[in-house]
Structure 1
Amino acid sequence: MEPPKSVARPEPVPTSPAEGLAAQKPFSSRRQLIAAAVGNVVEWYDWAVYSMAAVFFSAHFFPSTSENSLVPLLATLGVFAVGFFMRPIGGLFIGYLADLHGRKRALSLTIVLMGVGSLVIGLTPSYESIGVFAPILLVLARLLQGLSTGGEYTAAATFMVESAPNGKRGFYSSFLYVGALIGNLLAIAVISALLFGFGEDAMRDWAWRLVFIFGSVASIVGFLIRKYAHETHVLEAESTSDLTVTARPRMFDFLRSHPRECLTIVGLNLAAAALYYMWTSFLPTYAKLTTGFDLSQGYLVSAISLAYFIAIQPIAGSISDRFGRKPVLIVFSGGFTLAVIPMLNFVGNSFVSLLVVQLLGFTLLAGWTATSAAVMVELFPARIRATGIGFPYAVTVAVFGGTAPYFVTWLIDRDLTTWVGIYLAVLALVSLICIACMKETSRIELPK
């Protein structure tokens, strides 16, 4: 009688992210934080610089008309909005990649896509040279960047919060927007330096291209930094009768198993999406369109207020760790509900008035930027976390954030400026109601 043949079994699959990473060299949470934040700087520089520089390069891609000089700017901001509508696709597919193959691989992909998009924008000939192909290439580049940004937020948010020590998830969450805001500040610095060095005429003629070429080169640096980060997520495993197999998530598992959490993400972010892009990118342009404010002075105001905004992120995140996420978020949404109309009415053709409005708005907005990533990560289990955050978040940002600059410009163009504040106040009120109904998540263990 032959001895029983041995049955080859697959190697055991780690049953949790902690076990799966145990074999790796222990990583420093601080190093993880730096790797994610520095890559985030590059990613969000490339994304934000488009709307900031639109006033300079819009005429190269879209011809103006004798009746309305705002046509090129409106068209360029329309492409800005189009890019946002790729973000849900990026949030879904790159989020799924992050859940299936790890956060690090997803983060590497997003920064490559963003750099390629910036390079295409910087090198595309004008409408006069290649006709309709110029706006087509601009749209394609922005779609690529939208795909990247949709995946960037969800992968970076999960990576940062999963890297956080217990009791510091809000603090670590705040650095997601520290990186994003430094990217915005870098965009302002580059544009301001080019304006100072070459002048506004050269900026409108050719120097705007340097803004995007710089971003594509910086993406290479960000990619190399992220290459040496450590993975925070491996697939969990489930046992059958005699085998241990990997529990692969399906793409839409998050909708089937966590519909309430998905709606919470929408309510949490709908006002913030519009307010964030209004305050971080568009407020100088808003001041120029409504009061004739000097754009070069507007960029200086933005630089000062963004530096302040960056400094208070860790403070707001730490407050949410100590006192809870909901109180901090209620201050954000309730404050804007009451104050956004008076703040916009106070914007005038004055350096001081614009600075005051930006500082007040950023103080309130920090309640969301510093805590939102932690809240969303705390809502989902690890195996569907990136996809569960990425898709509903990106849809919300696309609908309410991507359309904000275009919609505000459209209202101003039709002498309906008063409705800008009313629109933002209504959104803030809806978010306030949703946040009030949300459960507190700061004290719970991160779902496995």
Structure 2
Amino acid sequence: MTRAKLRDMVLASPLRSRVRQLTATSIGNVVEWYDWLTYAFLSTYFADQVIPASNHAASLLGTFAVFAVGFVMRPVGGLVIGLISDRYGRRTAMTLTILLMGIGQLMMVVLPTYEQVGLLSPILLVVSRLVQGFSVGGEFAVSSVFLVESATPGRRGLYSSMSYFSSNLGQLLASGIAALFSNLLSRADMLSWGWRMPFLIGAVTCLSGLWIRSGTHETYALAEAIKQGRAERPRMWDFLRHHPRESLLVVGMTIGATVSFYTWSVYLPSYAETTAGTDPAQSLLATTIALAFFTVIQPVGGLLSDRIGRKPMLVVFGIGFTLLTVPLLSLLDRSFWSLLWISCVAMLLLTGYTAVCSAVMSELFPAKVRTAGLGMPYSATVALFGGTAPYVATAFIDAGHTALFGWYATLLMLISTLVYIGMRETKDVVLEVAGAEA
């Protein structure tokens, strides 16, 4: 028996094939999001070295501005990598995203300080974030589509939840490793060299993710038909030209959700430190525990959506944050336990969105434009609202109007809630997969 036949037999096994697909997507997604969010968790340590200013708050504001700049490339990545996915296949696109992320991480490892090279230091920081932003912009779309297209009948919600389950694992690792280094090393060591080590870990793990993804089973058979000239190649803006309503729905779904996600799962340690005087190491520890809880309940949310539908989950999420964002933020104090329980409540509400959004958005578009149709509108909205959330919050604090950020997040959440209420249920939609239906 030849090696090729043996490989085909292995891939023909439904269980082995599903495990292979889930593992490849999840591991790559873990690496992608670990790399992306390590920056946010460690910015308080390298801010003064790369963007020196009159005070630490101003330096931190500068690093969050660069964080937002990285989001500028997310729509570009969503569009370009989405088009690559819809033309050449999901596996090709996923391999590209993780390769680019590894390059961006390596740049952070060797990033010189402002004292060493002057203005070149913040310039290189921006370049690194642009590379990572391009990669992450395509990652969410192609991995989400890949998971949903790999799903068994009646389990698209469960498979969809694996997207945030794996990205949460990456975020959990980023938070956990940042907390570990922060607690094991002195502050002087963290400021000197310790903050670089988590980025090094990310660069090395990108190699494993690259190897695993290169061996996945392609879900998009239409790519071969396009290559052979038996199917028309999708053009860059076909998703918007033929599906404008669906594209706007993605935007509406994401506006409030992305601000809530980045506020409660990424920026909260810095927000608590700045507004309530919480110890940074304690904030990171509380966030890590809450993220572990958040990760565990993702599959539960996905299974629940396969039973009761996507819309009820989204509506509960939207109403919950519309009513509770301001009260929860106002309850933050210096206590570790206060930060922990507030974070866990927020994570429970967030699951109503994160467990189902990949499925809902994928169910809106036909296979030929699915990745670009999901990727570009989603990434553009995340760039405009999610990427700027830490900057907006820090700017409000710096201006002496701390409470205004909660109302800003509430207003955006209200917009998304109205979209959820007006949406149709997509749970029972027949999903077109590469010219077929599933």
Q: Tell me the equivalent position of 2:97.
A: 110
**Cα distance in 2 for residues equivalent to 1:202 and 1:357:** 31
Cα pair 2:87 2:223 within 8 Å, conserved: no
Q: Name the structure 2 match of 1:323.
A: 308
Q: Give the CA deviation at 1:415.
A: 1.2
Q: Could you tell which deviates more after superposition, 144-153 or 204-213?
A: 204-213
Cα drift, residue 210 of structure 1: 0.9
Shift of 1:406: 0.6
Residue 236 of structure 1 and its aligned partner are, at CA, apart by 6.9
- SS at the partner of 2:230? strand
Aligned pair partner of 2:52 in 53, 63, 72: 63
Residue aligning to 2:251: 266
Corresponding residue of 2:326 = 341
* Identity across the alignment (%): 45
Aligned residue for 1:40?
Answer: 29
Match of 1:18 in 2: none
Work out whether 1:417 is the aligned partner of 2:407.
Answer: no
Tell me if structure 2 keeps the 8 A contact 1:110–1:152: yes
CA distance in 1, matches of 2:199, 2:289: 23
Partner of 1:120: 107
Tell me the distance in 2 between the aligned counterparts of 1:404 and 1:215: 24
Alignment of 1:201-240 (within 5 A): 201-235=188-222
Q: Distance in 2 between matches of 1:430 and 1:53?
A: 32
Please list the CA deviations of residues 22-64 of structure 1 after superposition, one character each: whole Å capped at 9, or x if unmatched.
9974552122111101111110000001011000011121112
Tell me how far apart the structure 1 counterparts of residues 49 and 29 of structure 2 sit (CA, whole Å): 29
Change (3 A) 1:135 1:236: closer
Residue in structure 2 matched with residue 17 of structure 1 by the alignment: none
Q: What does residue 337 of structure 2 align with?
A: 352
**Of residues 118, 125, 135 in structure 2, which corresponds to 1:148?**
135
Deviation at 1:197, TM superposition (A): 2.4
Q: Give the CA deviation at 1:245.
A: 2.1
Aligned to 1:296: 281
The match for 2:3 is none
Q: Give the CA deviation at 1:201.
A: 1.4
Judged with a 3 Å threshold, the aligned counterparts in structure 2 of structure 1 residues 185 and 237 are, in CA distance, closer, same or farther, namely: closer
**Superimposed CA distance per residue, residues 219-259 of structure 1 (whole angstroms, 9 cap, x where no aligned partner):** 001111112211110227999xxx97222111100001100
Q: Which string of whole-angstrom CA distances, capped at 9 and with x for unpartnered residues, describes residues 177-215 of structure 1?
A: 111111111112211221222211110111111111111
Counterpart position of 1:179? 166
Q: Which of 83, 90, 94 is matched with 1:96 structurally?
A: 83
Moved more, 184-193 or 247-256: 184-193
Verify the 8 A CA contact 1:95 1:386 in the aligned structure 2: yes
Letter in 1 for 2:200: I
Aligned to 2:295: 310
State how many pairs are aligned: 423
Native 8 Å contact 2:86 2:223 kept in 1: no
* Pairing 1:281–2:266 present: yes
Between structure 1 and structure 2, the one with the greater Rg is 1
SS of 1:85's equivalent in the other structure is: helix
Cα distance, 1:82 vs. partner?
A: 0.2
**Whole-Å separation in 1 of the counterparts to 2:70 and 2:420:** 28
* Paired letter, 2:391: Y
Q: How does 1:385-404 map to 2 (within 5 A)?
A: 385-404=370-389
Aligned to 1:253: 238
Contact kept? 2:88, 2:224, Cα under 8 Å: no
| Residue deviations 1:281-340 (CA, integer Å, cap 9, x gap) | 111111100011011111111111111101110111111111110000000001000111
Q: Report the Cα distance in structure 2 between the residues aligned to 1:89 and 1:120, rounded to whole angstroms.
A: 21
Equivalent position to 1:53, from 34, 42, 63: 42
Distance of 2:388 and 2:267 partners within structure 1: 12
Aligned-partner Cα distance in 2 for 1:196–1:323: 43
Q: What is the rounded CA distance, in whole Å, between the counterparts of 2:74 and 2:224 in structure 1? A: 30
TM-score scaled to structure 2, two decimals?
Answer: 0.94
**In structure 1, how many angstroms separate the alpha carbons of the residues matched to 2:91 and 2:230?**
23
TM-align CA RMSD: 1.7
Structure 1 stretches of 4+ moved >6 Å: 21-24, 236-239
2: CA distance, partners of 1:234 / 1:424: 41
Native 8 Å contact 1:331 1:367 kept in 2: yes
What is the aligned partner in structure 2 of residue 408 from structure 1? 393
1:377 aligns with 2:366: no
Q: Distance in 2 between matches of 1:109 and 1:186?
A: 22
Q: What is the CA–CA distance in structure 1 between the aligned matches of 2:220 and 2:108, rounded to whole Å?
A: 34
Q: 1:275: how far off?
A: 0.8
Uncovered stretches (5+) of structure 2, i.e. residues with no partner: 1-7, 434-438
Question: Aligned in 2, Cα 1:75/1:237: closer, same or farther, shift over 3 Å?
Answer: closer
Kindly provide the amino acid, as one letter, of the partner of residue 388 in structure 1. G
**How far off is 1:447 after superposition?**
2.8
Equivalent of 1:445 in 418, 430, 435 = 430
What SS does the corresponding residue of 1:246 show, helix, strand or coil? coil
One-letter amino acid of the counterpart of residue 242, structure 2? S
CA contact (8 A) 1:154 1:389 kept: yes
